[in-house]
Amino acid sequence: MIDPLLASMRTAASGMQGQSMRMRVISENLANIEATGATPGSDPYRRKLVSFQSTLDDVTGASVVTVGRVLRDQTAFRSEFQPGHPAANAAGYVSMPNVNMIVEVADMREANRSYEANLQVIKQSRDMIAMTIDLLKNQ
């Protein structure tokens, strides 16, 4: 009875770790939303994405989440007309990061909700283990 509960706690904990990493990457994206290149023609900050993989935990036999890689989003940069900017091209346009604040905030909310859901799994598993121990004590 306790082994499946420990496995569920391990799975939920790995999900929390993955979502925590995802929130760190999203925070980095938001912090660099205006980070342009330093010279004309140089690339600005490129949005990062986190990929996840499902692996098998050798100890518990549970399926766990691991962070695969942090990828660079290959969508096109947006251009803004800023002729006085140091990174402006000959026409006065500056390449801006491919970070969209609305998308990042939505991703952060999703990561936060997933983190909280995994936290609830751990709390409920812990409560079930405590109830099982109490039942065994009373026998």
Is the model more confident about 59 or about 113?
113
Asked whether residue 25 carries a pLDDT value surpassing 80, the answer given is yes
Look up residue 44 and give its two tokens. Answer: 């600005």
User: Cα–Cα distance between 41 and 75 in angstroms, integer?
Assistant: 17
Residue that has been written with the tokens 């970070």 in this structure: 99
**What are the boundaries of each domain within the chain?**
2-137
Q: Would you place residue 59 in the very low, low, confident or very high pLDDT band (cuts 50, 70, 90)?
A: confident
Q: Would you place residue 97 in the very low, low, confident or very high pLDDT band (cuts 50, 70, 90)?
A: very high
Q: What pLDDT was estimated at residue 13?
A: 92
Residue that has been written with the tokens 């006085």 in this structure: 84
Q: Which tens digits make up the pLDDT trace of 37-53?
A: 988 888 999 999 999 99
Q: What is the pTM of this model?
A: 0.85
How many Cα neighbours within 13 Å face the side chain of 74? 1
How many angstroms from the chain centroid is the CA of residue 107?
8
